[in-house]
Chain A
């Protein structure tokens, strides 16, 4: 498969959130505002690319039987290193993204791509896959967050878009609102796909 194809498949065709349905926990938890969504999305993309590279590099020396624990160690170690170095040298960035970094360890998109893609493909394609999946995840998060932030807070990226008199629909910021929004968007996606 070509590099471009690997890159773009994660955005719509194999969108990790709406199609593969991976990484639901961070999607539900961090989609309360577009700010958070972008932060989480980019942090996850970064880790995803790096872990894909790592896994792809070591795929020949990891025995098949213990590959999952190896992935866990590699990803957890990597995330911790990113977390610590960011806290030490980029404190401002860490302040806004730091909250999401521990969440990335349990983001199963990263495990999922390591298992389903990176351990079978070469480094270049794995990078493309990481970028595409990461962007797809970021876009999906932003879409959910846009709906939730506008309805639940009357703002988008902290800019007020609803009139001052708008009484925010608080449920969209709560867990049930996250499930309902995600469910409806997934339904909409499937409906559009069937039409094609």
Chain B
């Protein structure tokens, strides 16, 4: 009995030391990692819609309004779509214009099969999304008619579906979010003008 207690305590000591070490390293690196990730997200947004300022709208569906950095005119919206692919969630950051047509997309996080699903991050795949409307967001294998559809990556139809369908769903959500939001600000805006 005594030996078990002794062994257990030694193991406990190892665990405590390891956990303490991990907690310490985590406390130092966490803010650094977060800021790097935020900076990356900011950079990706800028790449998708250049020369703009971004205003974050938080809610059920968080998105960013892109305004021209000079004129302040609304250029479009940026959001992150997510859906399960073959090996886990596939996150895509996408920019749409005011009419919800896709400007550009960027697959920012995925753990798909190397050599097949990972091709979803390549421009060869993402470029075909440019200019697509919501209706055109359908994979060719699901009955889409080229060129008004998304061509599936060879050997990675599931990944293609995850990207395409997540975008489709997110744009629909974005639409309803923007519309409900637009009703209130416009009214207040009108009132302000009257007050003037």
Contacts and interface: CB of A to CB of B under 8 A. Distances in A.
Contact of B36 (A77, A85, A87, A170): A87
Interface in B61-94: none
Interface in B104-138: 111, 113-116
B24 to A, nearest CB: 9
B173 interface: no
B32 A89 contact: yes
Given A87-B36, A152-B115, 15 more contacts: A30-B114, A32-B116, A33-B114, A65-B7, A66-B7, A73-B18, A77-B18, A77-B19, A81-B22, A81-B25, A89-B29, A89-B32, A148-B115, A173-B113, A173-B116
Interface of B: 6-7, 10-11, 14-15, 18-19, 21-22, 25-26, 28-29, 32-33, 36, 111, 113-116, 154-155
A108 interface: no
B11 A66 contact: yes
Given A70-B11, A88-B28, A174 B33 contact: no
A153 interface: yes
Nearest to A95: B40
B115 A73 contact: no
A29 interface: yes
B33 A73 contact: no
A94 to B, nearest CB: 9
17 contacts: A29-B114, A30-B114, A32-B113, A66-B11, A70-B11, A74-B18, A76-B18, A77-B19, A77-B22, A81-B25, A88-B36, A148-B115, A149-B115, A170-B155, A173-B115, A174-B113, A174-B116
Contacts of B25: 80-81, 84-85
Contacts of B28: 88
Given A30-B114, A33-B114, A66-B10, A73 B15 contact: yes
Nearest to A80: B22
Contacts of A89: 29, 32
Interface in A71-106: 73-74, 76-77, 80-81, 84-85, 87-89, 91, 99
A-B pairs, 5 with minimum CB distance: A32-B115, A88-B29, A77-B18, A88-B32, A173-B115
Contacts of A29: 114
Contacts of A65: 7
A69 B11 contact: yes
A36 B115 CA distance: 10
Nearest to B6: A63
Interface of A: 29-30, 32-33, 36, 62-63, 65-66, 69-70, 73-74, 76-77, 80-81, 84-85, 87-89, 91, 99, 148-149, 152-153, 170, 173-174
A65 B29 CA distance: 35
Nearest to A61: B10
A153 B115 contact: yes
Contacts of A91: 36
B71 to A, nearest CB: 34
Contacts of B36: 87-88, 91
A30 B14 CA distance: 32
Contacts of A174: 113, 116, 155
A62 B7 CA distance: 9
A87 B33 contact: yes
Contact of A84 (B29, B114, B115): B29
Contacts of A63: 6-7, 10
Contacts of B33: 84, 87-88
A125 to B, nearest CB: 24
Contacts of B15: 73
